Structure 1
Amino acid sequence: MLKKLDAKLRAEGYNRITSNIPEIGIYYKSSDGGVRIIPVVDYHFGFHFSGNQYQNLINQIRNLFVKKGYEQIEMLSLILAWDVHDAGMMSQYGCPRWIIDVNAVQLLIYEDQPIDFHGLSGLVNDVIEEETQAARKKAADETEKKDIEEAVQRAALKARNMAENKDGTEAAKEAVKEAVKNVLTEPAAVDKAKTKAAIATLFHKKAVINTLIVLINIIAFMVLEIGGSTTDAAYMVEKGAMFAPYVLDKHEYYRFITSMFMHFGIGHLTNNMLILFFVGDNLERAVGKLRYMAVYFISGIGGGVLSFLFNSGRDELVVSAGASGAIFGIIGAMLYVLIVNKGRLEDLTARRVGLLIFFSLYYGLSSSVIDNWAHIGGLIAGGAVAFILYKGPKAEARDTENKD
């Protein structure tokens, strides 16, 4: 991945400075008296860099370019991490940073970080897509090779059995020839490998319901932006955002649903849709379309209800909106599904999802503008719905057989 990142950055006009630490490369690009700097850190197992060391490194890089005469300096770190938690703790101080989870092959941009940096997110996602496709091709090739080897072994066993049941060397030779012919002409091994590869490709396609929900959120945002400003609280209340006094006094209970598809600004929408796009796909494939819809809507409503109960008792008036409650429900349900599946499903692990929950709640609690009660309500509701509806892979297989 480092080589591909290096090639992409150089193609975009970035120059590279090699630091005295092999795991760290510094890319920069001058523009109109200013400079954009991208420190790239290969945070592999066995490499440890403390928060103070990281902050000192960032300061040294900044001072280097100040001495070169640059007045306007923009900087964003890219951290390739095998241990996301450790890398996140190391990099919480210093310049803005993105983390690339090497295990899951995905870009992590937390809520307090910039969504883009002069087109860098597209460049990084291109590299990630190339890595993902290469990994899938390798897995398909290995599967095909294994299946063909198994077919050859079966043919050799068949030849040996045939030879033992016949007298003389000529009979044995004929048996071997027949077995080899079967291997060359029998399409079972190749067909089986191709079928598995096709299923794997289909398995990684985006889930229909989740993709539809993402599109609905985006379309709703565009419609709202055309009619006004999504950062205007009064306008959002008028269009259906959650506002406790209107629910209490006017009984406008529809706001529990409409507020789930409204977002305050493009940054709010982008953060939520990125998480939903990736985690939601995994959950839908695991539990099925109808149960996924149940998790999404019950979690969204559950988060809205807990937020309403908390905010209705406060002196200040609060306007809330967003798919965060539903998304936390998706994450909570995903955590339960992962636990049932012994900690791993597709490219997700219980540990990673647990860390995602921890960091999301942590950043939410540290911000006064995030509705943490909606997050907590959605998380609890999603886990509860998954507990009720999802039985685990073995039970699902038994149910399918019984229906058949």
Structure 2
Amino acid sequence: MYQRILNLLNIRGYQKQMTPLGPCYIKEEMGRKKGVFMTYEHKPDGTMYTQEEASLLDEKLKRYIGPNASVLVLILSDKGRSTWTDPDRAFEELYDPVCLILSAAGKDEEQSDTSGGIRFRKLGEYKATAVILAINIFMYLWTLASQEIFNWGALTWMHALQQGEFYRLVTSNFLHNGFDHLFNNMIVFLLVGSRLEPIFGTGRYVALYLGAGISGSIVSAAYYMHTGEMVASVGASGAIFGLIGAMLWILVKNRGYQKEFYGGGVVLMIAGSLYHGFSTMGIDNAAHIGGCIGGFLLAILLYRQDRGK
């Protein structure tokens, strides 16, 4: 869990800086420093951090980073009690991937007790996830070499609905507008998809992913046709929201319990992602909502409780 978050911070450009409290990971944006500090819920003396102590860490860290710095404090727990404080709401781009890493930690702990041989045998359960990841990366690299594929693959309501280019409802889900867009989508996809593919089975999982992506595309095209805006939409987030919507149905079906993930994390993921979408320019929220609803409805048809529990 700690190492995964550290890898995420390194990729996003955060650099290690030692403080008397321990290592803090610093990044400067628009002339202002941002610092991420991680610690476990148990202090060196064996006692646990209180909420008040966790809040005080923010002020203490600013003494060493800078008084105008923004600080994200992560209190990690192996028991599913991880929390964070972000008083300035300056780290919203980290909410989704960090939340998913924390959600995945419980399953990782369970798997750590199994043998290496069992782990390798289970890799076959993720083949569709690996193929979808590879397609997204391939299409991104292709768009770098040729803008033409981006032009005929992106979704606009005029091309898809008025000119009958319905393939755009599918192709737009495998195109991304820049490396950050691709990276953010794929890290969430890997964390969510690796939980759902073994639950649904490869065939149903692929049907869920594609169906949710198409659902998000249809809602996006219909919404922008209604508003009259000419927007070109790309990205896998509609399909990914569909996977999250499927998680929500599984929790409803199992009355809040599912060993691969927990209800609070799923709800927080949906709420945080939608909040980020509505508070950020250039986000196709219609595709997110359409994909989430489509994934929820498809899961009702595709989920088999005897396989998923």
Which TM bucket (shorter chain)?
Answer: 0.7 to 0.9
CA shift digits 1:214-236 (9 cap, x unpaired): 110110010011113xxxxxx67
2:38 aligned partner:
41
CA distance 1:55–1:80, shift in 2 (3 Å) = closer
Does structure 2 retain, via aligned residues, the 8 Å contact 1:58–1:94?
no
Residue matched to 1:18: 20
Aligned partner (choices 63, 68, 72) of residue 66 of structure 2: 63
Distance (whole Å) between structure 2 residues aligned to residue 218 and residue 102 of structure 1: 25
| Paired amino acid for 1:215 | A
Cα displacement (A) at 1:80: 3.8
Q: Which TM-score applies when normalising by structure 1?
A: 0.59
Matches of 2:263 and 2:153, distance apart in 1: 35
Distance 1:207 1:27, change over 3 A: same
* Aligned-partner Cα distance in 2 for 1:210–1:274: 12
User: Offset at 1:338?
Assistant: 3.3
Find the aligned partners of 2:172 and 2:17 in 1 and give their Cα distance.
46
Identity among equivalent positions (%) equals 28
Q: Does 1:238 align with 2:151?
A: yes
Give 3-state SS (helix, strand or coil) of 1:251's partner: coil
Count of paired positions:
285
Q: 2:169–2:217: 8 Å Cα contact kept in structure 1?
A: yes
Would you say 1:262 and 2:175 are equivalent positions?
Answer: yes
Q: Distance in 2 between matches of 1:54 and 1:269?
A: 33
Deviation at 1:203, TM superposition (A): 3.5
Pairing partner for 1:382 from 273, 295, 304 = 295
Q: Structure 1 residue 205: deviation in Å?
A: 6.2
Whole-Å Cα distance in 2 between the matches of residues 291 and 3 of structure 1?
32
In 2, Cα distance between the equivalents of 1:203 and 1:338?
23
Partner SS state of residue 51, structure 2: coil
Amino acid at match of 2:19: I
Q: 1:96 to 1:325 in 2, by over 3 A?
A: closer
- Aligned mates of 1:219, 1:211 — CA distance in 2: 12
Give, in angstroms, the shift of residue 367 of structure 1: 1.4
Q: Where does residue 29 of structure 2 map in the other structure?
A: none
Change beyond 3 A, Cα 1:270–1:5: closer
1:384 and 1:104, CA in 2 relative to 1: closer, same or farther beyond 3 A?
A: same
Residue 87 (structure 1) aligns with:
83
TM-score, normalised on structure 2? 0.76
1:246 & 1:50 partners in 2: Cα distance? 56
User: CA offset at residue 40 of structure 1?
Assistant: 2.3
Counterpart residue number, 1:170: none
1:64-213 equivalences in 2 (<5 Å): 77=72, 79-82=74-77, 87-88=83-84, 90-93=85-88, 96=91, 99=98, 104-105=104-105, 132=108, 136-137=111-112, 139-140=113-114, 198-199=117-118, 202-203=121-122, 207-213=126-132
Alignment-derived partner of residue 45 in structure 2: none
Alpha-carbon deviations, 1:330-383, whole Å to 9, x = none? 111122223334434444112211211111111111112111110111111111
In 2: Cα distance, 1:17 partner to 1:283 partner: 40
Asked which structure has the greater RCO (Cα within 8 Å, sep 6+), the reply is 2
Partners of 2:24 and 2:171 in 1: how far apart?
45
- Provide the C-alpha distance between the structure 1 equivalents of 2:275 and 2:89, rounded to a whole number of angstroms: 19
Query: What is the Cα deviation at residue 58 of structure 1?
Result: 4.8
Instruction: Work out which of the two has the higher radius of gyration on C-alpha atoms and give 1 or 2.
Output: 1
The runs of 5 or more residues in structure 1 that have no matched partner are: 20-24, 30-35, 67-72, 107-130, 141-193, 229-234, 398-404
Whole-Å separation in 1 of the counterparts to 2:290 and 2:119: 35
1:312 and 2:309 matched: no
Partner Cα distance (2:236, 2:290) in 1: 12
Cα distance in 1 for residues equivalent to 2:59 and 2:38: 14
Does structure 1 conserve the Cα–Cα contact (< 8 Å) formed by 2:35 and 2:65? Answer: no
CA distance in 1, matches of 2:223, 2:3: 50
Please say if residues 26 and 38 of structure 1, whose CA atoms lie closer than 8 Å, have aligned partners that are also in contact.
no
Partner of 1:218: 137
Q: Distance in 2 between matches of 1:3 and 1:300?
A: 31
Flag the 1:206–1:93 CA change in 2: closer, same or farther, 3 A: farther
Note closer, same or farther for the CA distance 1:55–1:93 as it changes in structure 2 (3 Å cut). Answer: farther
Separation in 2 of the partners of 1:37 and 1:370?
24
Q: Give unmatched runs, 5+ long, in structure 2.
A: 27-32, 42-47
After superposition, the C-alpha distances for 1:229-255 in whole angstroms (9 at most, x for unaligned) are: xxxxxx676231011122243221111
SS at match of 1:79: strand
Root mean square deviation, CA, Å: 4.0
- In structure 1, the partner of 2:197 is 284
Q: Which moved more, 1:213-222 or 1:360-369?
A: 360-369
CA–CA distance in structure 2, aligned partners of residues 365 and 42 of structure 1: 31
Q: In structure 2, do the counterparts of structure 1 residues 77 and 351 end up closer, same or farther at CA, with 3 Å as the change threshold?
A: closer
Corresponding position of 1:152? none
